[in-house]
Chains A and B, each alone.
Chain A
Amino acid sequence: MGDRQTEKASTNIMEFVVGAEFPSTHMDVTTDMIRRFAAASFDFNPLHLDPNWMADATFGKTKFGSVIGHGLMTYSLITRMFTDVLYPVGGWHERCEVRFKAPVLPGHRITASARITETKEIDGDLVYIAEVVASNQDGVVVASGDAMGRVPLDAAM
């Protein structure tokens, strides 16, 4: 990210132009964090909670060998990246689509990032499309997709 964008990120303001990046968000995943997410989301799937079962369970050809983080925990990290920027400037996070590509495991640092790829003016709003990636500390992509949001035109530049 360039200096100018870093400076803008610090005030939670960015330009909504093609190529602009949203200030990234990250989370440090632990078994405790996954348990807290399970309790708050009411998703108690043993995939996320039972290390003994996960040590041996196979899913088709896949064996995770450990509990895994909820996909929607990563999805929520991605969503926060957008609302952090949009809500203070009167914007709206309108849509997000991701595929989960690789498991999120305890010990991972997951970083979400997004870059605007398209913009369009619609009825006084600047509507953008952004490509979205979440990766772990080794650069492995755990989720990718795109998002759409809007800001009033006078807040977009």
Chain B
Amino acid sequence: MDGSALDAVPSTEELLANFETDFWRDEKNRRSWNEIQVGEERETHPVTLTLKIIQDYARAIGDLNPLYFDEEYANRSRFGGLIAPPTIHVPLMFLCTTKSDWMRTPGTVNAGQNWYYRRPARPGDVVTLRARALDKLIRKGRMFVIHDNVFCDQNGQVLCSGRGWTIRPR
């Protein structure tokens, strides 16, 4: 990522304070199954990953691994410092996308996911997301979209890469 893109990174505090938690509110601006364009990139923005995001998520999944909480322990580990759990891509997906992103459509059901993990995300990383719809299909009356997500850090190094299936409510 070049310097100008990093200048545009919003403050995480502002991002969290302004996060729209009512997923109904922007529903009319979101694409339906028929409107989702295969191959098109979803709108995303970089997010500075904070220790609070990491630890709130780790607590919510009952994962109190010292690599996420104990700085001295983490410093002595082969990671050389605190890291995030692999599944930190879950909050990062919502934080890196916009309120009109179709992944927020109420009733979107997660049918399956696969993720490949290259390296751990760390507090302070400026994380970017490239996200697309890859395919759409109908099976037994259900409308599916297959998407992919690739998360990178501020050096352009891939953190993790995933693909998922969602069942679309409309």
Contacts and interface: CB of A to CB of B under 8 A. Distances in A.
Nearest to A26: B62
A96 B114 contact: yes
A94 B116 contact: yes
Given A61-B141, A76-B85, A83-B65, A41 B90 contact: yes
Contacts of B62: 27, 77, 80
A99 interface: yes
A75 to B, nearest CB: 6
Given A41-B94, A60-B141, A100-B111, A93 B56 contact: no
Nearest to B19: A42
B94 A94 contact: no
A51 interface: no
B22 A44 contact: yes
A76 B87 contact: yes
Instruction: Give the secondary structure class of A's interface.
Output: mixed
A75 B169 CA distance: 22
Interface in A78-104: 79-80, 83-84, 87, 90, 92-100
A41 B78 CA distance: 27
A40 B57 contact: yes
A47 B109 contact: yes
A47 B115 CA distance: 23
A9 B8 CA distance: 47
Nearest to B64: A80
Contact of A71 (B57, B95, B110): B110
A44 B57 contact: no
A151 to B, nearest CB: 12
B108 A45 contact: yes
Interface string B79-102: 000000111001100110000000
B167 to A, nearest CB: 7
A18 interface: no
B113 interface: yes
B116 to A, nearest CB: 5
Contacts of B24: 46
Nearest to A35: B60
Nearest to A97: B114
Given A44-B23, A79-B87, 4 more contacts: A37-B60, A42-B94, A72-B87, A100-B112
15 contacts: A39-B56, A40-B60, A41-B60, A43-B94, A44-B22, A45-B106, A45-B108, A72-B90, A83-B86, A92-B117, A93-B86, A95-B114, A97-B114, A99-B112, A100-B110
Interface of A: 27, 33, 36-37, 39-47, 53, 57, 59-61, 70-73, 75-77, 79-80, 83-84, 87, 90, 92-100, 145
Interface of B: 19, 21-24, 56-57, 59-63, 65, 67, 77-78, 85-87, 90-91, 94-95, 104, 106-117, 141-142, 165, 167, 169
